[in-house]
Amino acid sequence: MRFKLIFEGEKTDFKNEDLRRNFISFLKKTFQKSSEEKYNSLFASKKLKPYVYSPFLGDEFKDNLIGPQISFIFSSGDNEIISIFWNGILQLKKEKKDNLILCNKKFFLKDIKLLPEKNINSKKVLFKTIGISLMTDPDSSPSNFKNWFVIPEKENLEKFNEILKKRVKQKFRIIKNIDIEPEIRFSLYEKNGKILINETVVPLFGGFARGFRGYFYLEGKPEILKFLYDYGFGVRTGQGFGLLEVVKQI
């Protein structure tokens, strides 16, 4: 299930800041409003979060301007998480306070929309990233920037798919508490002879992350594809990476 939140505030210059802490702070505030117990469970450690989200900083962000209206999509397949998030959001909206601070400007929650539920019935789906996705190699070292972050390319698709299976298995075990051997395969999408995947380097908590955005195919059991749609693709989904949109079921 997904929610789309609309914030309004004063248009401001983007100063090349890493704003992820601001959105994580907003999520913490939301869960704490609804359930102190769940808030402590989710944020007491750096464990994988059972949700994914992505912000949209406004139509003029390409010109380094944020606002005056921004949006925020939140997704989870966990009914308890959805219920707690919903109740927290309603409380924040009733308070009519500044719910989000970006580049020292206040943004107020104006609207909450429940997005239509997306059912996945096909074994092959064309997905589009909303924001950026990250994939890391568990057999590499985080200190090795080039090898730690993996970008899907024609030359390394077999390796990328091996890593993808490991990460999906890990994510499924943590969120569902079930061990699986996921049958899933990533393949590149081409249009007019051009691969529609772009590498992107972004600031992340004082350093940098190497990710990608664009279109790609995933093949596998519909329940696994739906799991990735609900909880995010790749790693660091609880930090605003990996939200997907379904373009076409094949």
Residue 240: CATH number of its domain: 3.30.70.1900
Q: Are 131 and 243 found together in one domain?
A: yes
- Say whether both 235 and 135 belong to one domain: yes
Residue 141 C-beta-side C-alpha neighbours within 13 Å: 2
Please, are residues 212 and 198 in contact by the beta-carbon 8 Å criterion? yes
pLDDT digits (tens, 9 = 90+) for 3-57: 999 999 888 887 666 788 999 999 999 999 999 999 999 998 888 999 999 999 8
Per-residue model confidence (pLDDT) at position 113: 94
- Domain holding 54: CATH number? 3.30.70.1890
Tokens matching residue 181:
């051997």
Does 232 have pLDDT greater than 80? yes
Judge if 132 and 41 occupy the same domain.
no
Residue 151 sits in the same domain as residue 105: no
Please report the pLDDT score of residue 67 as a whole number: 82
**Is residue 32 located within the same domain as residue 64?**
yes
Query: Both 105 and 153 in a single domain?
Result: no
Structure token pair of residue 247: 């373009």
43 and 138 in a single domain? The answer is no
146/80 same-domain check = no
- CA 184 to CA 236: how far, in whole Å? 20
| Domain around 177 | 124-249
* CB contact burial 46-64 (16+ within 10 A = b; e otherwise): eebbbbbbbbebbeeeeee
User: pLDDT band for position 96 (50/70/90)?
Assistant: confident
One domain for residues 157 and 209: yes
Last residue of a domain, one of 115, 140, 155: 115
Give yes or no: residues 101 and 129 share one domain: no
In this prediction the pTM is 0.94
The total of structural domains in the chain comes to: 2
Tens digits of residue pLDDT in 138-159 = 999 999 999 999 999 999 999 9
Domain-ending residue, one of 73, 89, 115: 115
Whole-number CA gyration radius for the chain: 18
Query: Do 100 and 154 belong together in one domain?
Result: no
Confidence of residue 238 (pLDDT cuts 50, 70, 90): very high
Whether pLDDT at 165 is above 80: yes
Final residue before a domain boundary, out of 96, 115, 134 = 115
Do both 101 and 47 map to the same domain? yes
